[in-house]
Amino acid sequence: MPDRHLIDVHVLLVHGAELLLTRRRGGAFDGMWHLPSGKLDAGEDVLTAAAREAAEEVGVLIDPADLTHVHTVHVNGSGPEPRVGLFFATTRWMGEPVNHEPEKCSALGWFDLHALPTGVIEYPAAGIDAYRRGLSFSVLGWSGESRPAAVGR
């Protein structure tokens, strides 16, 4: 097993009771729903990374100060290496979301936060569920877990 962990950032664009999701194109998750997200780049702080990913994927501009950390999940099995996923929510951005990565994304959709579509990838679904439940931390995909899968704030 690799001896490092990737850091992912996920952005919950929340408009009233709705959440923006992107549908993946190609690869193992083709046709499944996800949040705007990506990996932290070297020399980049997590808030800047989250704002950058939202701009790259859905074309909205977010002031990093408008992002609120809502959940952290330590994940194993969602890719070749374990990762830590940081979830940030915002209700403030400039621009209308559009698909800026058609080679990676086949659609965008606004969904009721409490009635998401079928086919949301497990990893972001865990972060979305934790956000709805007010949980600050969880673990996913680790065998032999001796603590609850999610803990409250």
Domains present along the chain, CATH in parentheses = 6-143 (3.90.79.10)
Per-residue pLDDT of the chain (153 residues; tens, 9 = 90+): 556 779 999 999 999 999 999 999 999 999 999 999 999 999 999 999 999 999 999 999 999 999 999 999 999 987 778 899 999 999 999 999 999 999 999 999 999 999 999 999 999 999 999 999 999 999 999 985 544 444 444
Of the candidates 86, 111, 87, 85, the one whose C-alpha atom is nearest the C-alpha of residue 97 is 111
What pLDDT, on a 0 to 100 scale, did the predictor assign at position 144? 58
Supply the pTM of this predicted model: 0.91
- With contact defined as beta carbons under 8 Å apart, do 145 and 65 qualify? no
Largest pairwise CA distance in the chain: 45
Phi-psi group of 138: left, alpha or beta (phi > 0 → left; psi -120 to 50 → alpha; rest → beta): beta
What pLDDT, on a 0 to 100 scale, did the predictor assign at position 78? 77
- With contact defined as beta carbons under 8 Å apart, do 111 and 13 qualify? no
Of the candidates 105, 128, 126, 121, the one whose C-alpha atom is nearest the C-alpha of residue 54 is 105
